[in-house]
Amino acid sequence: MEVAPTIQWGYLIYLTAFRVCQYFGAKEECQYCDINHNWRQHKAAGRPYTGVKPVDEILEALEIIDKYDTAKTSQAYTLTGGSITSHVGGKTEADFYGQYAQAIEERFPGRWIGKVVAQALPRADVQRFHDYGIRIYHPNYEVWDKKLFELYCPGKERYVGREEWHRRILESAEVFGPRNVIPNFVAGVEMAAPHGFTTVDEAIDSTAEGLQYFMSRGITPRFTTWCPEPTTPLGKANPEGAPLEYHVRLLEVYRATMEANGLSSPPGYGPAGPGNAVFSVSSFMDSLTPAT
């Protein structure tokens, strides 16, 4: 449980390889994310909380899963963790997360679909991800609006910048193929006070613009629902999150934009359609009608 703590509906294995983010402090941390605070809390409480997961322990955990998952219910793994702006163990972000994929693919060739959640990296780094065995790339763009990206993701703006982040997402599609580049956005955070949109119409219009930008280029974003974390700046100021109307209308515009661009549900998430989802953030998969 310490090594592979999350197995979603049996389908997806989450492997948080690096439990700290090098976007650190008020001027760099994403304003809705509590990864560094979690680290501080666990260490202060004296709980076991491995910052960097050893590769051999990841493999051992997967061996246990593979041994008992005789029905092959688990079909994908996601390598994730904090952003790396310098090095961890002498490795840059692509090589740090890539080492896990390489070891997994060598030990269990073709057993799972390999995914990685990482920054939008330069093409050479993205190519290394692919060479290591990753097949789906999540360079999350977090929030579409330019002002809100700068305010809510200050580290990403400082180190990469919004326009360069988007350019790298599009460029990564040349390596993985557009269908296999699935950037995430945090649904609802664009309505967070004090700087967010004050009406659902404005928030949906902004998010729809981002969806069209990527989907018109064959890239299908996904979203996670913003859950205000009480230790984060946006969580403290917005304990109730975005209204239900926003989330219902987001599902409508997500499906409509996808259909208008001739796309289907993103790969690696199992079956689509109401009640079928096997991914924890299931709403966007539940809202989609499978092709007949």
Is the bond leading into 194 cis (omega within 30 degrees of zero)? Answer: yes
52 located within any domain: yes
pLDDT of amino acid 292? 45
Question: In CATH, what number is assigned to the domain containing residue 139?
Answer: 3.20.20.70
Beta bridge partners of residue 14, listed in sequence order:
6, 78
Q: How far apart are CA 204 and CA 191, in angstroms?
A: 10
Total of domains in the chain:
1
pLDDT of amino acid 178? 98
Q: How far apart are CA 30 and CA 12, in angstroms?
A: 25
Q: Which of left, alpha, beta for 178 (phi over 0: left; psi -120 to 50: alpha)? A: alpha
Q: Which two tokens stand for residue 30?
A: 């994403």
Residues 6+ apart with CB under 8 A from 100: 15, 17, 53, 55, 58, 79
Instruction: Tell me whether strands 76-81 and 136-138 are parallel, antiparallel or unpaired.
Output: unpaired
Q: How far apart are CA 7 and CA 63, in angstroms?
A: 14
Domain interval for residue 122: 6-286
- 111: helix, strand or coil: coil
pLDDT of amino acid 281? 67
pLDDT of amino acid 290? 60
- The list of the chain residues with pLDDT below 50 reads 292
292 located within any domain: no
Q: Which two tokens stand for residue 144?
A: 């579409």
pLDDT of amino acid 9? 64
pLDDT of amino acid 291? 53
184 located within any domain: yes
pLDDT of amino acid 152? 97
214 located within any domain: yes
pLDDT of amino acid 270? 78
202 located within any domain: yes
Residue linked to tokens 């269908």:
179
- 237: helix, strand or coil: helix
Q: How far apart are CA 230 and CA 240, in angstroms?
A: 10
Contact 207, 4 (CB under 8 A): no
199 located within any domain: yes
pLDDT of amino acid 275? 80
156 located within any domain: yes
186 located within any domain: yes
What are the Cα distances from residue 53, in Å, to 8, 18, 49, 80, 129?
20, 7, 10, 11, 18
